[in-house]
């Protein structure tokens, strides 16, 4: 397995090796020891799965705040998605910046999004499915977000992105400039 780092400290792309023959392939998707060596101590407590029927479906930017903040390991198991992590750590030199990865079911790549980041995605194919492991349980009380099209963050969404697919929750998320301090680089 290979790991790719970004200009923003924290997120990692995991790139597993596929070994195939005429029967199909085998791939080790996650090995905790090398992952923890790069990401730091991580304990996953819940697995989630999301199906988006149409291409261009936008979900996010979502995150949970302390004391229920979540790190997420995201993977696309059917189709492909444009996956985004936004740095929300107040004391970070990359505060408000974002990275993206195309997660693809054939490629088997994953994106590690640590605590202190918002997460969003846009489906690139019909009936795309993502699964993600999280480091804390879902908690509606601590579930927050920021506008997907915020003018300060300026995510460069793919052309297929369709704002008509937004949930009510995502249509009313606050602007980045209106967020109080939520995370610090030392948060885990």
Torsion 33-102-73-174 (CA) sign: positive
Alpha helices in the chain (DSSP H): 32-39, 168-171
Tokens 């996956």 map to which residue?
83
ω into 50 cis (within 30 of 0):
no
Q: Which two tokens stand for residue 93?
A: 């030199």
Give catalytic status of residue 62 as yes or no.
Answer: yes
User: Residue 17 has what DSSP assignment?
Assistant: P
Give catalytic status of residue 142 as yes or no.
Answer: no
Q: Which of 95, 132, 137, 142 is catalytic?
A: 132
**Exposure on the CB side of residue 40, measured as CA atoms within 13 A:** 12
Tokens 């790069």 map to which residue?
38
CA distance 183 to 188: 9
Q: Which of 62, 95, 137, 142 is catalytic?
A: 62
Nearest to 153 by CA among 85, 51, 77, 107: 85
Catalytic residue annotation = 62, 132
């Amino acid at each position: 397995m290979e790991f790719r780092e970004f200009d923003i400290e924290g997120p990692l792309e995991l790139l597993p090796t596929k070994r195939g023959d005429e029967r199909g392939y085998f791939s080790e998707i996650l090995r905790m020891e090398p992952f923890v060596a790069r990401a730091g101590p991580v304990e996953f407590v819940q697995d989630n799965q999301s199906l988006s029927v149409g291409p261009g479906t936008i979900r996010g930017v979502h995150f949970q705040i302390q004391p229920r903040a979540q790190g997420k390991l995201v993977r696309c198991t059917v189709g492909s998605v444009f996956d985004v992590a936004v740095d929300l750590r107040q004391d970070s030199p990359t505060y408000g910046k974002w990275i993206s990865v195309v997660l693809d079911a054939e490629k088997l790549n994953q994106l590690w999004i640590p605590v202190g980041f918002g997460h969003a995605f846009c489906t690139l194919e019909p009936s795309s499915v993502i699964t993600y492991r999280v480091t804390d349980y879902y908690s509606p009380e601590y579930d927050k977000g920021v506008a997907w099209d915020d003018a300060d963050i300026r995510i460069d969404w793919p052309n297929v992105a369709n704002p008509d697919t937004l949930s009510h929750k995502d249509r009313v998320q606050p602007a980045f400039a209106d967020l109080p301090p939520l995370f610090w680089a030392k948060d885990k």
